[in-house]
Amino acid sequence: MDFSTLRNLISRYCAGEENWVDSRTVYIGHKEPPPGAEAYIPQRFPDNRIVSSKYTFWNFIPKNLFEQFRRIANFYFLIIFLVQLIIDTPTSPITSGLPLFFVITVTAIKQGYEDWLRHKADNAINQCPVHVIQHGNVVRKQSRKLRVGDIVRVKEDESFPCDLILLSTSRDDGTCFVTTASLDGESSHKTYYAVQDTKAFNTEEAIDTIHATIECEQPQPDLYKFVGRINIYLARDEPVARPLGSENLLLRGATLKNTEYIYAVAIYTGMETKMALNYQSKSQKRSAVEKSMNSYLIVYLCILIGKALINTILKYVWQADPNRDEPWYNERTESERQRHILIRAFTDFLAFMVLFNYIIPVSMYVTVEMQKFLGSYFITWDDDMFDEELDTGALVNTSDLNEELGQVEYVFTDKTGTLTENNMEFIECCVDGHVYVPHAICNGQVMAAAAGIDMIDSSPGAESREHEELFFRAVCLCHTVQVKEEETVDGIKRGIHQGKATSFYISSSPDEVALVEGMKRLGFTYLRLKDSHMEILNREDEIERFELLEVLNFDSVRRRMSVIVRSNTGEYYLFCKGADSAIFPRIVSGKVDEVRARVEHNAVEGLRTLCVAYKKLSHIEYEEVCHLLSSAKLALQDRDKKLSEAYDTIERDFILLGATAVEDRLQDKAADTIESLHKAGMKVWVLTGDKMETAAATCYASKLFRRSTQILELTTKRTEEQSLHDVLHDLSRTVLRQHGSMIRDTFSGLSNEFQDYGLIIDGATLSAVLKPAPEGGGGASGGNYKEIFLEICRNCSAVLCCRMAPLQKAQIVKLIKASKEHPITLAVGDGANDVSMILEAHVGIGIMGKEGRQAARNSDYAIPKFKHLKKMLLVHGHYYYIRIAELVQYFFYKNVCFIFPQFLYQFFCGFSQQPLYDTAYLTLYNISFTSLPILLYSLIEQHINMDILKKDPSLYRDIAKNSLLRWPIFIYWTFLGVFDAVVFFFGAFFLFDNTTFTSNGQMFGNWTFGTLVFTVLVFTVTLKLALDTHYWTWINHFVIWGSLLFYVIFSLLWGGIIWPFLNYQRMYYVFMQMLSSGPAWLSIILLIMVSLLPDVVKKVLCRALWPTTTERIQNADKLYGGHLSEFTPLSSLHAPPPRGQKRPDGQNPLPPRRSDSPPPKKKLLYTHWGGGGPDYCTFSSILPPLGDNPRLSGAAYAYNAPGPETSL
């Protein structure tokens, strides 16, 4: 049989509608096929190495230098340095070369250290031991040395080292149980199947005798699809061919559970595994602040070129007069006279460029790098972000994006394990309208926590009692739960019914475990599945046995599952459980209205509900069901379609028993965090692989959706009824109806004046929306869906995307990033399925949860719990942005102050490129004299108290959209610098007009003039920073006054000693001579005061007449001596709302979530103490208006009034 025939067969029987991709052949155990079979063609595959680092030892220097010189400032200074080396310039090459070398070195060390940490994490994974079968023996290897074709043994609780095809397991039926939490976020146990013909080979010796080849598709990123075939050579005959599907494929990163060991063969290794293919490639992330810096740099570069050009032109205009050409003592050589005027002019232009090049602050980049690197430790050291349960705090993997934490507009979060604990809890069940709550109130009776629960009074009548017990049995039997037994201390295994429980349940769905545990608390305990019999321990401590005949597995289309069992008495039962929409249409009798009312009530509470029904089967009906199922299962083509038709025929004419309610507990303070992010002006999107109903319930519980939110659905179910084009335009009309095409304010979701919209979209519909337009499609029906979709999303306060593949999550983030507003995005997740999204977003945050550490390893920041995101953004992000914005503006300001007097000086020295300042001052101005104060300011400044930032999230909106680095503010700082420079220069110039400047009548020279200007400059820019500082500590005082003292001491030493290594010492005794003059002291003090005056006046007037929210809070905080957050309602400090807008004052604290307290059944009485008076304990600005009260659970409906409450 030739290879093309095999490929066609595989395509036909295994791939279905899928397009076949080029295949690969894997030889199990690296054994050649027998003679006469297909040709042996060994193929080269990558090793099992995982690489998340960016550099290697060999490419670090060239690659890092290339990246650094892509920065405009670094490249510019390199050019200036080379010009200084090549031509005769007024300043030494050291003045440019030394700062540049310092910047490049510090940056390279920082980035190299961060990449070394990534290498370290990669090595930890790549050097993990794996067990490989070679010649019938188990050999231990490092994970990176694993090759395609190796047979691997994996033990319980170990992770799979690569993508494997399951050959055999320790279980007789050839199944194993796996959790894929790190891949798709589901921590439930999934069942995988060994190849039928190899499942008996379950020892090292036996597995080594397998002679087989696997033909399969080349690696694809889709986690849920796999197409292949195994050819097993049992004898000299034709090989036995069996199809392989995703149920045989064990993915890298998944973990083996409840199975002692398995044997499997490696088919995809290293960067070809499905997990690695779902990673986005690492790209260099650049913050919005850095982009602003580059824009400002271009402006200053234009100013620099303009200055140099003006000076060059004026020099030649001035020298046009023959008397002014050159003084007699500076005769030019013949070669200089012969040079062409254009060459001379170009050389002069370059010389002026070098003279003025200090306007471009190269040291700003090194200060920014140091600020980011050192500042990142504040996150690591924050005790509030330390989690005792995990015994770990926050981690910073990339410090380049600190300030971006203060600019986030969109937050994309995973659901399972990020918002929720992934820990289901049984809340209640309803049987024929009677509600049962374990260990709580049951129809008026308080149920004890004991195992024996008396419920006779709760369900009067024999028929009701029978229905009640049938319901409990149905829930105990209709599931795929396994029981895992654990040994006690003395080594004796005990079952659940033997004394204390030492076993626990595991299942492919955490809901099922919660339901079975809930039944146990209500008196019916599921014991085990043994020899195809399910055993239950009832209330009378009797063991009931039911033979399990058929399982009709759950799927997302039917949204229900069924089992067929036979009781001891020989009766056949079909038990079914599923979503209410899947069960109610199939009911023929039962108390539908009562159960439906309870289901709707629980859905509003945010609980996950399931309905339970049954029907009895006669022996003949059971035989028909068996025939129907077996014929569908044996079909090779359209098997899924035939099975679903069979299920549809079987699952009809039910009798309704009741419903259950389960809660997936939210993480601690998850709802509070999401509410704070909303108030800070951020839009929160939940991207999950989970099903729609579950995800929607979580969104309600976490306050992403509110009771008043109108839910818009863009799902497969709706697009089947209407075309995608019609659905999108309907939704677009709905959201834009109230305000035309005007985009809603981000914050309007918390107001009563607009309808609040929430959008739900699924993965399949998203693919259709993002699909590029067909050639010649054009128009609305062509490819315009993306724009309409974005318009709908902009007008929704929250969006839920469910059934998302990992790469689809990244596509959503990319779509929003590329929209016309170009918002800053943040992605947060905890599993490997979130890595693509984390790498795509501007800022990626990994949560160190139960689902492995892949997300934390590939993120920019890692936090222990979702609640820590609040402080990271609202406090750390706010501070980082404020600090770096001041740092950038201040650097440009102080360099304008520094170099503009040099420009003015050229008008008084015949444009001769004479420097105003000494070379030492030129070199050390940015490196020593003015660098430390701004570095310290950018590390510890706190313009507002930390507690206030946490309590009032709306302050975050004051710094949104890069508000402190906008062009008007930049222009203000630049003009302030020009004004100060004019004051320095002409103030000193007019004072120098007085020839009797010293007591002995001696005149000052040009170096004294330059030193006077420089002294005023250093003092002014340092004191300007002191005026901007709000948070004073002893370190600020030490650094600010210490740097001024250092300048004075350096100047005294530099001019007071004859240094032997200097060829000439033009500064000798200059500084001392200047300080010996009384008028010089007076001029220094006077000029500093005049320079600082405009900025002080502007600040005083603005604070008095047009204060910002931040300034109001600063003033109030001073009034309360730094304890504002303890006494004052912050809402009173906000700018007054626009006319006609209701002010949200006097609100209550929110009631606790249902999961925070035992679920009450009956109304509870609340006693309200006091009343009427104002409630100063409440921070009104943090709470929503009353009209938009979030969903209240349980007893919280009973009473809602301001003031403290006591439950009785």
The count of other CB atoms within 10 Å of the CB of residue 137 is: 10
Instruction: Determine contact, residues 812/834, Cβ cutoff 8 Å.
Output: no
| Of 727, 710, 730, 709, the residue nearest 718 (C-alpha) | 727
Instruction: Determine contact, residues 142/20, Cβ cutoff 8 Å.
Output: no
Residue whose structure tokens are 């222009």: 971
Which amino acid makes up residue 748? S
Task: Locate 42 and state its tokens.
Answer: 């060994």
Task: Locate 252 and state its tokens.
Answer: 């890298």
Instruction: Determine contact, residues 359/899, Cβ cutoff 8 Å.
Output: yes
> How far lies 615's CA from each of 296, 380, 472, 622, 660, in Å?
75, 59, 15, 12, 18
| Of 1038, 858, 1036, 801, the residue nearest 938 (C-alpha) | 1036
- Cα separation, 802 vs 854, in Å, equals 22
DSSP H helix total and E strand total for the chain: 39, 38
Tell me which DSSP letter residue 30 carries. Answer: G
| Of 1156, 1149, 1139, the residue nearest 1184 (C-alpha) | 1149
Q: Where are the alpha helices (DSSP H) in 212-269?
A: none
> How far lies 50's CA from each of 275, 282, 422, 832, in Å?
10, 13, 28, 13
Angle, nearest 10°, between helix axes 462-477 and 510-521? Answer: 140
Of 414, 762, 830, 952, which residue is the catalytic one?
414
Which amino acid makes up residue 848? M
* Catalytic residue check, 860: no
Which amino acid makes up residue 558? R
Distance of CA 1186 to the CA centre of its chain: 32
Q: What is the chain's alpha carbon radius of gyration, rounded to the nearest angstrom?
A: 37
Task: Locate 914 and state its tokens.
Answer: 């004479």
Instruction: Determine contact, residues 355/915, Cβ cutoff 8 Å.
Output: yes
- Cα separation, 85 vs 87, in Å, equals 6
Which amino acid makes up residue 516? V
Which amino acid makes up residue 252? R
- Cα separation, 1016 vs 1013, in Å, equals 5
The count of other CB atoms within 10 Å of the CB of residue 1086 is: 15
Half-sphere exposure of 15 (CA within 13 A, CB side): 18
Instruction: Enumerate residues 6+ apart whose C-beta is below 8 A from 45.
Output: 24, 147, 148, 269, 272
- Cα separation, 1028 vs 1008, in Å, equals 31
- Cα separation, 1190 vs 703, in Å, equals 7
Which amino acid makes up residue 868? H
The count of other CB atoms within 10 Å of the CB of residue 726 is: 12
DSSP secondary structure string, 368-381?
HHHHHHHHTHHHHT
| Of 909, 492, 878, 428, the residue nearest 662 (C-alpha) | 428
Region of 570 please: left (phi>0), alpha (psi -120 to 50) or beta.
left
| Of 92, 52, 617, the residue nearest 280 (C-alpha) | 52
Instruction: Determine contact, residues 248/299, Cβ cutoff 8 Å.
Output: no
The count of other CB atoms within 10 Å of the CB of residue 733 is: 10
Provide the 3-class DSSP secondary structure of residue 573. strand
Provide the 3-class DSSP secondary structure of residue 551. strand
What is the torsional sign of CA 926, 932, 936, 937? negative
Catalytic positions, please? Answer: 414
